[in-house]
Amino acid sequence: MLKKLTSADYIELENKLGASNYSPLDLVIEKAEGVWLYDVEGNRYLDCTSAFSSVNLGHCHPKLVEALTKQAAISTQVSRALRNTQLPLFYEELTQLTGKNKVLPMNTGGEAVETAVKLARKWAYTVKGIEKNTAEIIVCNNNFHGRTTTVISFSSQQAYKEYFGPHTPGFKIIPFGDIQAFKDAITPNTCAFLIEPIQGEGGVIIPPEGFLKQAEIVCKENNILLMLDEIQTGFGRTGKLFAHHYEEVNPDVLIVGKSISGGFYPVSAVLADESIMDVFKPGDHGSTFAGNPLACAVSRKAMQVLREEKIVENCAEISSYFMEKLKTLKNPCIAEIRGRGLFIAIELDEPARPYCDELLKKGLVCKETHSTIIRIAPPLVITKEQADFIFDCLKQVFEKA
């Protein structure tokens, strides 16, 4: 009989054969359900990562399992050389949800951001009238928009870009949330402002109130596209369907990913109205897998579940309950607790990893970001009792004598 592999076996094999471009917690997940993760030895953990906010509807949601497996037996991939029955229905669902009327499907978040950059540049040259190859896009300090070579070119994190030059030109970085800096950075060549409404990987950084609205006005005044990256903040994570709804902003370009498929499949999309999207012509852009029937079927179902199960409302309700409790958490090393919805950061004035390790022992999976920040982002299907469990774990670790 074959020996059953242990967590240690899996870790050894992974470390031996895989590139070391991540430093994961030594937790090997075999099974997951709702907010819970189960390791190889059968231990149960509450997931406060939601796989970087991609599993907002919880792990292995039965309706998504059904949609995925049903479609898998019908047709999985036909490529955009042909048409398929799922793609238009996916477009319909997504445009109704977002209010934008054209969609360009992609697979990963990074690809969707690349797509938005191409869209802004082509719009710059063919609509705004900027001289070819001189368009500029303004972005923010501390941004995270993905890991592709162009996207890291406008990262402010040295570690993300240091050995990966030469970098793509055409980007200007301004401080996040500084409207004057934004105005000062604009030139006649500026075609777009690309921003996360809340910086996620940057540590759940919320811009000053009114910033997004002001940015929208400045964009309009200067004929600049406002491009919001809601890949991490979208689909209810912040307690509203999209984070930009807090300021009733209407972006020209909306970029989504991660939880659009409930985390079942890599799906992303760029949305815009036709006056912008129609600059793309056949041959301008594409991807073999983008818009495949399997991706579309599971994403359609994920958006339906989001509505039918009132996931955004649940997030808002649990968030106000949980944030009140969190405020009572006491430890001198806690510099700040902030967040919107279930997109929460506990910022420490010392390294966060040892706390994450302790939390793991209590049955809570959290991952640090920027070394001193613990991000709490459980699936949005969480109940009050499960939120209490998170709080009890935090209390035990942060308030132990």
Ligand X SMILES: Cc1ncc(COP(=O)(O)O)c(C=O)c1O
Provide the token pair at 263. Answer: 């985390």
* Residue 163: exposure state from Cβ atoms within 10 A (0-12, 13-18, ≥19): exposed
Burial 191-225 (b: 16+ CB within 10 A, else e): bbbbbbbbbbbbbbbbbeeebbebbbebbeeeebb
Establish if 196 lies at the interface with ligand X (CB under 6 A): yes
Report how far residue 261's alpha carbon sits from residue 79's, in angstroms, rounded to the nearest whole number: 18
Report how far residue 63's alpha carbon sits from residue 67's, in angstroms, rounded to the nearest whole number: 6
Establish if 145 lies at the interface with ligand X (CB under 6 A): yes
In what helix (H) or strand (E) does residue 356 lie, and over which residues does it extend? helix 353-362
Pick the closer one to ligand X by CB: 49 or 108. 108
Q: Give the residue, chosen from 58, 105, 200, 378, that forms a contact with ligand X under the rule CB under 6 A.
A: 200
Q: Which residue has the tokens 């054209």?
A: 102
Report how far residue 297's alpha carbon sits from residue 337's, in angstroms, rounded to the nearest whole number: 38
Q: Using CB positions, name the residue nearest to ligand X.
A: 109
Establish if 108 lies at the interface with ligand X (CB under 6 A): yes
Q: Give the residue, chosen from 232, 314, 319, 386, that forms a contact with ligand X under the rule CB under 6 A.
A: 232
Cβ at position 277, least distance to ligand X in Å: 20
Report how far residue 304's alpha carbon sits from residue 387's, in angstroms, rounded to the nearest whole number: 25
278 is catalytic: no
229 is catalytic: yes
258 is catalytic: yes
Establish if 264 lies at the interface with ligand X (CB under 6 A): no
Q: Give the residue, chosen from 146, 207, 262, 291, that forms a contact with ligand X under the rule CB under 6 A.
A: 146
Establish if 201 lies at the interface with ligand X (CB under 6 A): yes
Cβ at position 290, least distance to ligand X in Å: 13
Cβ at position 62, least distance to ligand X in Å: 25
Q: Give the residue, chosen from 35, 36, 50, 52, that forms a contact with ligand X under the rule CB under 6 A.
A: 52
Pick the closer one to ligand X by CB: 251 or 397. 251
CA dist 54 to 255, 340, 370, Å? 14, 17, 20
Q: Which residues bind ligand X (CB under 6 A)?
A: 52, 108-110, 113, 144-146, 196, 200-201, 229, 231-232, 257
Catalytic residues: 144, 229, 258
